[in-house]
Amino acid sequence: MVSAIILVSNATPDTILQFHDQLLNELPVLKGNWNFSFKIFRNNPYSIPPEKALELLQSDESKYLHTWSPSYLPGTGVALINKSSSCVFSQVIAEEAGNENVEFTIPDAHLHQGATTGLNDPFDYFVAQKLQSMWTQRQTVKGDGGEIYELENERVIIRTSNVFLHGVFKGLLIQIEIPSITTADATVFDPVIQRYRIPQGRICAEVLDPNLLDKYGDLCLQLAEILNF
């Protein structure tokens, strides 16, 4: 799957309404509402490796940790470290999920053999509360009022959301996914943008590794680039 994120920073209520009407005219399958939380952490400059403690009073490099928690992945968070590596954390135990359609769960065996405690707290909360000596939270970006549209028999998925930073509206976010394409190529989004008259804005289709696409890691990277206020 390839994806792209577009942020229409100058979106108005009329712009947003017209775009939703345009998508509804295409008779999509409506997959419900969604929202997300996107947090940005920076390394604590006074957290210095022991081998450098005698040389430095504070770290001479800046590193960033981004966490993304979309509501369509319940109990799951995606973490991106320094825009170079990613991982997915779930706090849902498989046996607790039951028949619910949850994409990521912790295997029952891990719990029964003591390999996990279930991570009852979301990963971003764990970082903010337990790893304060390493990471300092800088920003929290919220996405609210989102809609999910499946088009062309699930060949194209478009998710929209209103973006807020500290309660201030920052624009309309449009997330495009094309599940059938497995090669990183930003030009594949041009026909989609034209056909569905997607409003003009900042776009990012970068990936962590062109030779090994990472569905959620790539989305987190694209959000990190676009939501850099």
Burial 67-77 (b: 16+ CB within 10 A, else e): bbbbeebbbbb
Average pLDDT, the chain: 90
Total domains, the chain: 1
- pLDDT score for 145: 96
pLDDT band at 50 (very low <50, low <70, confident <90, very high): low
CATH at residue 188: 2.40.320.10
* Percent of the chain residues topping a pLDDT of 70: 91
Residue range 23-46: mean pLDDT, rounded: 94
- pLDDT score for 93: 79
Residue range 214-223: mean pLDDT, rounded: 97
**209 closest CA partner among 177, 182, 175, 180:** 182
Dihedrals φ, ψ of 24, to 5°?
-65, -30
* Domain span holding position 135: 2-226
Q: What is the DSSP string of 39-59?
A: EEEEE-TT---GGGTTT-SS-
Indicate yes or no: pTM above 0.75: yes
CA 189 to CA 171: how far, in whole Å? 20
Residue range 155-163: mean pLDDT, rounded: 98
pLDDT in tens, 168-207: 999 999 999 999 998 888 899 999 999 999 999 999 999 9
Range ranked top by mean pLDDT from 16-20, 88-92, 109-113, 115-119: 16-20
pLDDT in tens, 81-105: 999 999 998 888 787 777 777 888 8
CA 175 to CA 189: how far, in whole Å? 11
